[in-house]
Amino acid sequence: MNSYRGITSSYWRNMSKQRLLLIAAACLHLLYVLAVNIASARAGYRLYYQAGSNSDRVNLNSMLSGKPQQIYGFITGTMHGYGFFAPNVASQYVSQFTFYDEGKIIAQVSSPGIRSVEGLQRYSVWLDQFQRFLREKEQDDPRAELYRRYLKASVTSLCRRLLADYPAAVRIKCQIYLHRPPLLQDMASSHAGLVPIYDYSARR
């Protein structure tokens, strides 16, 4: 009987240690996710609004840049931060094309009228390329400048093709926006804004 009680007591002690270990691991993971989320949110705010200082970012990033943290972040999928929906999913880019006839708006469309699934996928990939533009738009690096010229050439080509579909239009304006998640005070109304990141106009 004493032997049975000893085995039972040892079993429950081991179970308690396992539970404590699991709770500690869960708490550490939540702290890591919280730190990554804060760093991602601050980086996104500075990127979109060009505000804030870099001192707190350096301190937080130094805590997350160690080799063990990088490996853990890669395995758990949290190393790239959080977008609006899930880890490693960026916010969506949207486009708007406005057609003018001597200052008067005659049409507005959000896409170039693509009907095929393949075409829509290619257009979505093209929109996602503005993520790099947003990150490098202030850089003087030759590669960044070449990428900006590439984007401008692709936007120019697309706008000229769309102008051909609207003979009455004399000017077209292309605007690229990034979805902004609702602020805390806007959560009740589920209002989400659009952050303008690119603007281009062309005449016939």
> Mind listing the pLDDT tens digit for each residue in 133-167?
888 877 888 888 999 999 999 999 999 999 999 99
User: Are residue 66 and residue 105 in the same domain, yes or no?
Assistant: no
> Which residues is 61 bridged to in the sheet?
none
Positions of the chain with pLDDT under 70 = 1-15, 40-65, 77-91, 180-193
Q: Is residue 11 part of a domain?
A: yes
User: Are residue 53 and residue 100 in the same domain, yes or no?
Assistant: no
Q: Is residue 84 part of a domain?
A: no
User: Are residue 97 and residue 184 in the same domain, yes or no?
Assistant: yes
Residue 83's nearest CA partner among 193, 198, 181, 7 is 181
How far apart, in whole angstroms, are the C-alpha atoms of residue 181 and residue 194?
A: 9
Number of H helices, E strands in the chain: 6, 4
Which pTM was predicted?
Answer: 0.56
**Are 114 and 120 within 8 A, CB to CB?**
yes
User: Are residue 103 and residue 193 in the same domain, yes or no?
Assistant: yes
User: Are residue 186 and residue 121 in the same domain, yes or no?
Assistant: yes
Q: Is residue 87 part of a domain?
A: no
Residue 171, CA distances (Å) to 133, 151, 163 in order? 24, 19, 8
User: Are residue 6 and residue 53 in the same domain, yes or no?
Assistant: yes
Domain with 104 in it:
93-203
User: Are residue 65 and residue 102 in the same domain, yes or no?
Assistant: no
Residue 36, CA distances (Å) to 31, 46, 92, 131, 183 in order? 9, 15, 20, 19, 19
pLDDT at 61: 62
User: Are residue 104 and residue 51 in the same domain, yes or no?
Assistant: no
How far apart, in whole angstroms, are the C-alpha atoms of residue 33 and residue 190?
A: 25
Per the structure, the count of domains in the chain is 2
Residue entry with tokens 């009987």:
1
User: Are residue 98 and residue 187 in the same domain, yes or no?
Assistant: yes
Q: Is residue 14 part of a domain?
A: yes
